[in-house]
Amino acid sequence: MMKQFEFNNVSFEENSICLVCESSKQIKLGQRGNREYFGANPNVVPHVYTNVVKCLSCGFIFCNPKIHGLEHLERDHYNDPDLYNAYLKGKVNSVYQIGEKLLALFKPLGKLLDIGAGKGEFLYLSKLKGYSVVGVEPSLRFCEYARENYGLQVEQGYLGRDVHFQGEQFDVITLFHVLEHVTQPKELLAYISDLLKKDGIVYIEVPNADAIILRIADQFFRLFGKSWSSRLSPLHAPFHSMGYSPKSINYLLEDSGFKLVYAGTFSGKVRGYDTSDRVSLAFTFARNIIMSLINIFPSRELICIVAKKLN
Are the C-beta atoms of residues 24 and 56 closer than 8 Å to each other? no
pLDDT tens column, 133-181: 999 999 999 999 999 999 999 999 999 999 999 899 999 999 999 999 9
- For residues 22-26, average pLDDT: 98
pLDDT tens column, 120-136: 999 999 999 999 999 99
Alpha-carbon distance of 93 to 129, in angstroms, equals 13
Instruction: Give the relative orientation of helices 121-128 and 140-150 as an angle to the nearest 10 degrees.
Output: 30
> What are phi and psi for residue 4, nearest 5 degrees?
-65, -40
Rg (CA), the chain: 19
The pLDDT of residue 17 is: 97
- Look at residues 255, 250, 242, 239 and name the one whose alpha carbon lies nearest to residue 2: 239
Report the C-alpha dihedral over residues 255, 261, 265, 270, rounded to 10 degrees.
-120
User: Which run of H or of E encompasses 287?
Assistant: helix 281-294
Report the C-alpha dihedral over residues 77, 83, 89, 95, rounded to 10 degrees.
20
Alpha-carbon distance of 171 to 196, in angstroms, equals 6
- For residues 44-59, average pLDDT: 96
- For residues 275-282, average pLDDT: 50
Alpha-carbon distance of 82 to 87, in angstroms, equals 10
Alpha-carbon distance of 161 to 179, in angstroms, equals 16
The pLDDT of residue 9 is: 86
User: Which run of H or of E encompasses 40?
Assistant: none
13: how many CB neighbours lie within 10 A of its CB? 10
The pLDDT of residue 278 is: 44
- For residues 59-67, average pLDDT: 97
User: Which run of H or of E encompasses 282?
Assistant: helix 281-294
Alpha-carbon distance of 134 to 199, in angstroms, equals 19
Q: Which residues, in sequence order, are bridge partners of residue 167? A: none
The pLDDT of residue 299 is: 79
pLDDT tens column, 228-268: 999 999 999 999 999 999 999 999 999 999 999 999 999 87
- Look at residues 183, 185, 221, 220 and name the one whose alpha carbon lies nearest to residue 32: 221
Alpha-carbon distance of 225 to 99, in angstroms, equals 39
First-to-last alpha carbon distance for the chain, in angstroms, is 49
Q: How many helices (H) and strands (E) would you count in the chain?
A: 9, 13
In our burial notation (b when 16+ CB lie closer than 10 A, e otherwise), range 254-290 reads: eebebeeeeeebbbbbbbbebbeeeeeeeeeeebeee
**Amino acid found at 295:** N
Q: How far is CA 277 from each of CA 69, 292, 296, rounded to the nearest angstrom?
A: 34, 19, 25
**Amino acid found at 159:** L
The pLDDT of residue 2 is: 44
- Look at residues 201, 205, 206, 203 and name the one whose alpha carbon lies nearest to residue 310: 201
Domains located in the chain, CATH noted: 4-69+210-243 (no CATH), 86-208+246-309 (3.40.50.150)
Are the C-beta atoms of residues 21 and 55 closer than 8 Å to each other? yes
